[in-house]
Amino acid sequence: MKIAILGWGSLIWQPKKLAYNKTFGWQKDGPILPIEFARISKDGRLTLVITENGTKVPVLFTLSNYHNLEEAILNLAVREGSGRNSIGSYDKDTFSSKFRFEDEIKNWIKNTDFDAVIWTNLGENWNIKNDKGDIIRQIESERRIEYLKELKGNKSVIAEEYIRRTPIEISTFFRKEIEATLNWTPILNE
């Protein structure tokens, strides 16, 4: 089984132990999905997710080293530090799964020689948590740039790095706003 992994954020420039074909690399003509900086992560970064409120952009993809879909899903879940349920998947042969933006992914994969595709499937999150994981406040999605301005120290640095290292192809509405307001322009990845 030939499995594609979709990516649009740190998975590309910081794959950690993701088992993917480094020779194949990250290709730039993946499915067009609505992506936006719309999730506050555990470490305070504002990260990219697939969201109805996103900008439609072509995401990147690579080839998994695994030939078994469950193994590939588990590998991606471990890399993301999340549970199995946070990984989306589609297998051409089973046609059984239902997921958001199904048409975009199915239309893309039918024109490839991949048998299946997987991706990180986390939703928007506007909760700011303390070190114990307790919600200390929630921000409104329209205030995401103000949120970034308020970050201090290491949280500010890692938030800036994430946004600046995001592949230039992921040119979302709020990325342009962040670049214009904070001057967090792209850093080209190696």
Half-sphere exposure of 108 (CA within 13 A, CB side): 22
Kindly report the length of the chain. 190
Residue 117 DSSP SS3: strand
For the whole prediction, is pTM greater than 0.75? yes
Could you tell me the pLDDT band of residue 98, with boundaries at 50, 70 and 90?
low
Q: Which residues contact 8 (CB under 8 A, 6 or more apart)?
A: 33, 35, 48, 57, 59, 60, 166, 167, 170
C-alpha 187, offset from chain centre: 17
The string of pLDDT tens digits covering residues 144-170 is: 999 999 999 999 999 999 999 999 999
Structure tokens at 155: 């949280």
Query: What CA–CA distance (Å, rounded) separates 168 from 115?
Result: 28
Q: The tokens of 119 are what?
A: 């991706």
**Rounded distance between C-alpha atoms, residue 50 and residue 178, angstroms:** 18
Of 48 and 97, more confident = 48
Predicted local distance difference test score (pLDDT) of residue 131: 80
Residue pair 8/35 in contact by the 8 Å Cβ criterion = yes
